[in-house]
Amino acid sequence: MKVLYRPKGRAQEYSPLAVNLYRGCPHRCKYCYAPLVLKKSAESLAMVSPRAGVLKDLHADLARFREHNTMAFGPVLMCFTCDPYPDIEKDLLVTKRAIELLKHYAFHFKILSKHPALALRDLHLYGPGDVFGTSLTLLDREDSRRWEPGADEPGDRIQALKEAYARGKNTWVSMEPVLDPEQSLELIRMTHPYVRHYSLGVINYDPIRKTIDWGKYLDDARALLYRHDKSFQVKRDLERAAQQTPKGHRNNDN
């Protein structure tokens, strides 16, 4: 396949298939792993452009899948190394056309965007097996601006989730990275009425990881999610980090 691929390692926990539609990401998040993985500077990574021929290649990949299978596939995650809704998507419509291709070939899709206000434009394309998602990391606006200067503010992301849920769509939140456990827990408290599923992770590639009691965070997050009868996934990195915290140091106060 040319652009459709099966994620490996940590990424595989999110979705069985994925496609990266754009090169670069405008959010300039301080914790981003992409500059390290792609061997690019943060400045060059912030320059966004569509991948050359991506829609043509996606069309060919999907047709090849369909030749040998008649069942629905997916979901296909958009995207890991980019945001599927950078500002230039308003005019280029690359993600919208990718969604239309996926639907044509009976593939479900899963959006992960820190610009979900723009992603709302395509809600009419969602079916029962498709998922509208965003990352929630920080509640405080100033903290968010410092860590994620190019992303939508927390309130805007939360409002987008509300609207998608109100319109009957499957909503999903990636609670990763965790920069301040108390803010992450508060985000769960605030959003649980209109989020169907949470993915719980950690933070990688940053020294702040060593300052967090991951065992307590996981216990507190689980208690909240069980209380509100929420579907959730604990990523393996968080499970491993939590196991390193002695049981006697944990408590549940939620």
pLDDT score, position 254: 45
Look at 113 and 67; give whichever has higher pLDDT.
113
What integer is the mean pLDDT of 218-237?
Answer: 97
Alpha-carbon distances of 130 from 11, 65, 78, rounded to whole Å:
18, 19, 11
What integer is the mean pLDDT of 120-138?
Answer: 97
Domain of 76 in residue numbering reads as 9-246
- Classify residue 95: in a domain, yes or no: yes
**Nearest Cα residue to 201 out of 173, 226, 176:** 176
pLDDT score, position 246: 54
State whether residue 176 is helix, strand or coil: coil
- Classify residue 3: in a domain, yes or no: no
Q: Which residues pair with 18 in a beta bridge?
A: 5, 77
Percentage of the chain beyond pLDDT 90 is: 76
- Classify residue 74: in a domain, yes or no: yes
- Classify residue 158: in a domain, yes or no: yes
What confidence category does residue 247 fall into, taking pLDDT thresholds of 50, 70 and 90?
Answer: low
CB 53 within 8 A of CB 97: no
- Classify residue 4: in a domain, yes or no: no
- Classify residue 2: in a domain, yes or no: no
Look at 198 and 31; give whichever has higher pLDDT.
198
Percentage of the chain beyond pLDDT 70 is: 94
Q: What CATH number is attached to the domain comprising 164? A: 3.20.20.70
Residue 214 has pLDDT above 90, yes or no: yes
What integer is the mean pLDDT of 50-57?
Answer: 97
Average pLDDT, the chain: 91
Distance CA 20, CA 79 (A): 5
Query: Between vectors from CA 105 to CA 101 and to CA 111, what angle results, nearest 5°?
Result: 55
Peptide linkage before 75 cis (omega within 30 of 0) = yes
Residue 135 has pLDDT above 60, yes or no: yes
Total number of domains constituting the chain = 1
- Classify residue 252: in a domain, yes or no: no
Residue 251 has pLDDT above 70, yes or no: no
What integer is the mean pLDDT of 41-46?
Answer: 82
The model's pTM: 0.91
What integer is the mean pLDDT of 191-209?
Answer: 93
| Torsional class of 197: left (φ above 0), alpha (ψ -120 to 50), beta (otherwise) | beta
Distance CA 178, CA 218 (A): 11
Look at 71 and 238; give whichever has higher pLDDT.
238
What integer is the mean pLDDT of 122-151?
Answer: 96
Alpha-carbon distances of 69 from 24, 107, 225, rounded to whole Å:
33, 11, 37
What integer is the mean pLDDT of 87-98?
Answer: 98
Residue 70 has pLDDT above 90, yes or no: no
Residue 178 has pLDDT above 70, yes or no: yes
pLDDT score, position 160: 98
pLDDT score, position 33: 77
